[in-house]
Structure 1
């Protein structure tokens, strides 16, 4: 039951800071936010949920700084968002064996976004596409017609899509991220690989039912400290879902790697499940 050592962890959600100031993290959906505390006091949009948001401090090279943090905690590879900027390009050029990339997308842009996905995939070699439905502007639900061209492109390119599901952390409406919306998408796109992000709460039991129903639906543990992993997910991973649950952190967005790995020692996974959770499921899904 103990977490194995020296396994070469694959982290399915990690970020590379751009600078000490991270106030631009929610620029894209700031117009949706109405409460004064978020707008005036928060450095990250769901700060009320996290006790100790990591402080990156100043680094001469944040790419190298991030790799050093990974090395210190046994993380061999990490999925990071591709921003098509100098930081992303340097990460790929310098540490192409350590980073693989998902492309955050905006379904409101229609075919322009589909063409962008195909262009960047041809240039970079993406491993996934990602979307924060509640953070789109206007908000676009998981099963909205604007998402369907994105899903079709992912099937065509054989790219998994990472979707935030459940009540969003930022103080914005949740309707777009109801877990029930996945049922229609999985039905209409049986070849589409979908990875749920950010918990699926309070519908985690429904998330498990849908994973039992749909072969290509997966769950990642992003944005949750391991001590708060939903019991329904742990029970599923220890039984029929051993091949469906992937480790994802939330560093440096909201959790430190020290906190994550310290908590991880107490997660009650079976011995045979640990390698799948920490490495093998991601290796298979993302074709690493």
Structure 2
């Protein structure tokens, strides 16, 4: 069966390129990369996982180009990262009906990051905040005390927090992203919506158990082609978890 063309898609993790070279996005955790291949040869730090990494090429207007690609694949709206730059401001100004925004956050910045979240939320109407625990530098675990101010801020603003869970793609330590860490967070913040990103592998069965346990825990399919979705997630989506699995490209 072919892909339906009459159902609009909401993509809950989409990136707008800002340059032909997109390596800037991992500069913050580049010091964590120890192997020479990751540091000097890859155009993106999880490149070893893919047969090829498509390149955008030179584009005059990356925001309009992104919308053209969304139209091509019937994506009505996308959640993208807010970066406090010209690209984000242009996306908001030109296409307010096509983009919603989430804010990537660094728990190492403490109260200053909480203030930034609240300021940007008042300016942009953020729909979520996000953290890449293994990509923080120094690394901060999902259930570490540095994360709790961010959880509190999101709960107060009544917006979800999206958290990378499972073994990270880049060759950096995984300890901070163990799925078991979410149990304490969901218990302590029962009104906070928590969304797992990037697979939760190899603990996808545990991820399902925790979603059954905690009504505030969700799963996003980000970073996986549909044919590679974990079987435990597909089975859960087709049974009790249809309202817990969120599409992301």
TM band (smaller chain):
over 0.9
Q: 2:177 — aligned with what?
A: 177
Alignment of 1:183-222 (within 5 A): 183-222=183-222
Q: 1:18 — aligned with what?
A: 18
Give the CA deviation at 1:2: 6.7
Alignment TM-score, normalising by the size of structure 1: 0.85
Q: CA RMSD in A?
A: 0.9
Give the CA deviation at 1:53: 1.3
Alignment of 1:139-178 (within 5 A): 139-178=139-178
Q: Alignment partner of 1:239: what SS?
A: coil
Alignment partners' CA distance in 1, 2:26 and 2:10:
26
Give the CA deviation at 1:4: 3.2
1:47 equivalent to 2:39? Answer no
Q: Which runs of 4+ in 1 moved over 6 A?
A: none
Q: 1:100 — aligned with what?
A: 100
Alignment partners' CA distance in 2, 1:210 and 1:4:
32
Alignment of 1:40-119 (within 5 A): 40-119=40-119
Give the CA deviation at 1:72: 0.3
Question: Which fold has the larger relative contact order, with Cα–Cα distance below 8 Å and residues 6 or more apart in sequence?
Answer: 1
Q: Is the 8 A contact 1:13 1:79 kept in 2?
A: yes
Structure 2: stretches of 5+ with no match in the other structure: none
Alignment partners' CA distance in 2, 1:92 and 1:127:
13
Alignment partners' CA distance in 2, 1:206 and 1:4:
32
Alignment partners' CA distance in 2, 1:3 and 1:66:
20
Kindly provide the CA deviation profile for residues 140-196 of structure 1, in whole angstroms up to 9, marking residues without a partner as x: 000000000100000000010000000000000000000000000000000010110
Alignment of 1:192-271 (within 5 A): 192-249=192-249
Q: Alignment partner of 1:192: what SS?
A: coil
Which piece of structure 1 moves more, 95-104 or 47-56?
47-56
Alignment partners' CA distance in 2, 1:245 and 1:2:
22
Task: Say how many residue pairs are matched.
Answer: 249
Give the CA deviation at 1:5: 2.6
Q: Is the 8 A contact 1:14 1:78 kept in 2?
A: yes
Structure 1: stretches of 5+ with no match in the other structure: 250-288
Q: Is the 8 A contact 1:25 1:45 kept in 2?
A: no
Alignment TM-score, normalising by the size of structure 2: 0.98
Q: 1:32 — aligned with what?
A: 32
Q: Is the 8 A contact 1:237 1:245 kept in 2?
A: yes
Alignment partners' CA distance in 2, 1:50 and 1:240:
32
Q: Alignment partner of 2:183: what SS?
A: helix
Give the CA deviation at 1:52: 2.2
Q: Alignment partner of 1:172: what SS?
A: coil
Q: 2:132 — aligned with what?
A: 132
Q: 1:276 — aligned with what?
A: none
In structure 2, do the counterparts of structure 1 residues 168 and 80 end up closer, same or farther at CA, with 3 Å as the change threshold? same
Alignment partners' CA distance in 2, 1:2 and 1:115:
47
Q: Alignment partner of 2:96: what SS?
A: coil
Q: 2:9 — aligned with what?
A: 9
